Amino acid sequence: MSDSTQARFAAVLVVRRTIRARAEALFAAWTDPQQLTRWWGPPGVTCTAAEVDLRVGGSYRIANRMPDGSTLWIAGEFELIEPPSRLIYSWRLEIPEAGTERVSVSFVPGDGTTEVIVTHERIVKAAARTQHESGWIGCLAGLARFAEDL
C-alpha cells in the first residue's frame, strides 16, 4: 500500500461493551499495571508485563506474549487523563515501520454498569483495523471477566 493510499484509508474503529462494574473500578483496572496484567489481551495472548506512568505526557508499555511464544510490546504516551471517565493515549507497536495511532477510552456509568467505549484512530492498514477490532473485543471480554471478581 502506498503512503498516499495509507493516508486516505486512516480508519477509525469503535468497540463497546457494557460491564457490570463501577467506572472507577474499570478505570483503575485499565491504568494500574498490576491489574492490567491480569485481564489484558485477546484469547491466546497473555500480558506478561505492564508499565504505566499515569500523567499527561507519561508513557506506558504493555508486553503481549503471542500464541507463538514471541512478545509484542505496545507503547505510547498519555494525552488526556480524566479519572474515572476518559483516557486518550498514543498507540504504537514496537516493531519496525509501525505508525503512531491514537486510542480513546470512555467509561460511561449506567445503572450498576459502565459502558466502556474504545475508539482507535489513525489506523492506516485495513488488515490492522481487523486485527485491532478482534483484539479490543477480546480485551473488553477479559476486562468483563476480571470485573466479576472485583
Give me the pLDDT at residue 4, please: 44
CATH match of 3-148 with 3.30.530.20: yes
Mean pLDDT, the chain, as a whole number? 93
Q: Give per-residue pLDDT as tens, 68-80.
A: 999 999 999 999 9
Query: What pLDDT does residue 9 have?
Result: 56
The residue extents of the domains of the chain are: 3-148
**12-30: pLDDT as tens digits:** 999 999 999 999 999 999 9
Q: What is the DSSP string of the chain?
A: --HHHHHHH-EEEEEEEEESS-HHHHHHHHH-HHHHHHH-SSTT-EEEEEEE--STT-EEEEEEE-TTS-EEEEEEEEEEEETTTEEEEEEEESSTTPPPEEEEEEEEE-SS-EEEEEEEEEE--HHHHHHHHHHHHHHHHHHHHHHHT-
Predicted TM-score (pTM) of this structure: 0.92
Phi and psi angles of residue 89, each rounded to the nearest 5 degrees, phi first = -150, 155
